[in-house]
Amino acid sequence: MLTLYDAPRCPYCARTRIVLAEKGVPYETVTIDLANRPSWLLEHNPPDGRVPVLEDDGWVLSESSVIDEYLDERYPEPALLPVDPGERAVARFFVFRFDDLGGPYYALRRGEAGAAERLAHALTDLDHTLAAMPFLTGRSFGLADAAYLPWLLRLRDLMGVSLDAYPALTGWLGGCSERPSVAAEVETVASLAA
């Protein structure tokens, strides 16, 4: 049985929860208290015991983007990357450049000066991208979408950031939220706010 070392409030874990739900793969969850990480997690993923960590078939894997590509290859149906190599490269590019959004997001969380402007710039870029293509993964939902959605849900539902000025982004967010994998994350985020 596949095991996910997980934390509900962790958006990186949410990436992997979305991918596992899309794949319909049964798995066991070990919930980690982020304020009090067990020493075995530090051994699994040194030096600081970050989550997510995935155990499968004797492998102990960390880094959400690595885990998610592993899951897509290990459990190929439904495919979460395009078939065409160029389209796959574009999807991977968005995952690779996630910090263009993540940087301003965490700057805003830390209350840094100028963070709101940097975030608005990143959201505008994302909006333009999503005006030109239906999904960050290309023609259909996939790994690049899963890589961004957790932060956008937290911005909107936990941090009170309005996304109304970004119509393509909100359209994509609404459409993705109809998928059971993402709807489950909307509920998880709501439970964090409660």
Ligand X SMILES: N[C@@H](CCC(=O)N[C@@H](CS)C(=O)NCC(=O)O)C(=O)O
Q: Does the annotation mark 176 as catalytic?
A: no
Q: Which is nearer to ligand X, 65 or 181 (CB)?
A: 65
Q: Counting contacts by CB under 6 A, is residue 98 touching ligand X?
A: no
The alpha carbon dihedral of 55, 57, 58, 64 has a sign of negative
Q: Counting contacts by CB under 6 A, is residue 48 touching ligand X?
A: yes
Hey, how many other C-beta atoms are within 10 angstroms of the C-beta on 128?
12
Q: Counting contacts by CB under 6 A, is residue 143 touching ligand X?
A: no
Q: Write the single-letter amino acid at 7.
A: A
27-31 sheet: strands from edge to edge? 27-31, 2-6, 53-56, 59-62
Q: Counting contacts by CB under 6 A, is residue 95 touching ligand X?
A: no
Q: Of residues 3, 25, 63, 102, which one binds ligand X by CB under 6 A? A: 63
Contact criterion met (CB below 8 Å) for 118 and 104: yes
Taking CB atoms, the residue at the shortest distance from ligand X is 10
Annotated catalytic residue within 10, 95, 143, 169: 10
For residue 71, the minimal CB distance to ligand X (Å) is: 13
Q: Counting contacts by CB under 6 A, is residue 23 touching ligand X?
A: no
- Catalytic (active-site) positions: 10
Footprint of ligand X (CB under 6 A): 10, 12, 34, 48, 50-52, 63-65
